[in-house]
A and B are shown apart, each in its own frame.
Chain A
Amino acid sequence: RKEVEQDPGPFNVPEGATVAFNCTYSNSASQSFFWYRQDCRKEPKLLMSVYSSGNEDGRFTAQLNRASQYISLLIRDSKLSDSATYLCVVKIYNFNKFYFGSGTKLNVKP
């Protein structure tokens, strides 16, 4: 079983839409959680960390549910520039390893 699972999509949404992605993780010892963004043929870059109480960064909101072992990312008022692949990332503290989901592709259409 993969450490991190995501719906690959693609999610095709119009500009201005609200879209949500979920991911699940298998290791209950997971300590830290993140969303990364990867543009086509580019390297991944950190979008935001995910905190237990949930956190917001502009149009982006991340939530963590430890009991159910899932993480979500909500994007409001989608922009064309949001088109990318969103990677869910989990870190197992004791092993200091980052596990990446396979990513969810988002296409924002005009």
Chain B
Amino acid sequence: GAGVSQSPSNKVTEKGKDVELRCDPISGHTALYWYRQRLGQGLEFLIYFQGNSAPDKSGLPSDRFSAERTGESVSTLTIQRTQQEDSAVYLCASSLALLAGGPDTGELFFGEGSRLTVL
């Protein structure tokens, strides 16, 4: 498909288990973002990857959260020792690289999200 693909779409896990969420961005999109959205809340920035630059991890809420991305392809978000407060929808988005002085449509293309429920 041409869109951002996320898996799993739904994950139910027990407190204390590790989970891994996957995001496959649109081909050619060098920027990739992870956001968290709790029920009835806004989007909370987690981490941002841009090409081969060091990722911006400033939004990760604790050291239980980590993410990786190989080049400009798939990214995985890992949550270790899950807690009930981690229950949320995890949204991945990708966008075209912004060239210096270039136009910015501001369009982030989101996947449908991975809904995580920690029991």
Q: Which A residues are closer than 8 A to B by beta carbons? A: 31-34, 36, 42-46, 49, 87, 89, 91, 95-103
Please count the residue pairs between chain A and chain B whose beta carbons lie under 8 angstroms apart in the complex: 50
Report the bound CA distance from A45 to B43 in whole Å. Answer: 13
A35 and B77 CA atoms in complex are apart in Å by 27
Q: 1/0 per residue B50-75: CB within 8 Å of A?
A: 10000010000000000000000000
Those of B68-119 within 8 Å (CB) of chain A? 91, 98, 104-108, 110-113
Q: With A96-B48, A103-B42 in contact, is A42–B104 under 8 Å at CB?
A: no
Which one of B56, B110, B112 has the highest number of Cβ atoms from chain A below 10 Å of its Cβ?
A: B110
Min distance, Cβ A23 to any Cβ of chain B, angstroms: 11
**A45 engages B110 (CB within 8 Å):** yes
Q: Name the one of A32, A42, A44, A91 contacting B43, with C-beta atoms under 8 angstroms.
A: A44
Complex contacts, A34 vs chain B, CB 8 Å: 106
Taking A43-B91, A46-B106, A95-B56 as known contacts, 11 extra A-B pairs with beta carbons closer than 8 A to each other, sorted by chain A number, are A32-B104, A36-B108, A43-B111, A44-B110, A49-B106, A87-B43, A89-B106, A96-B31, A96-B98, A97-B56, A98-B33
Least CB distance from B28 to A in Å reads: 17
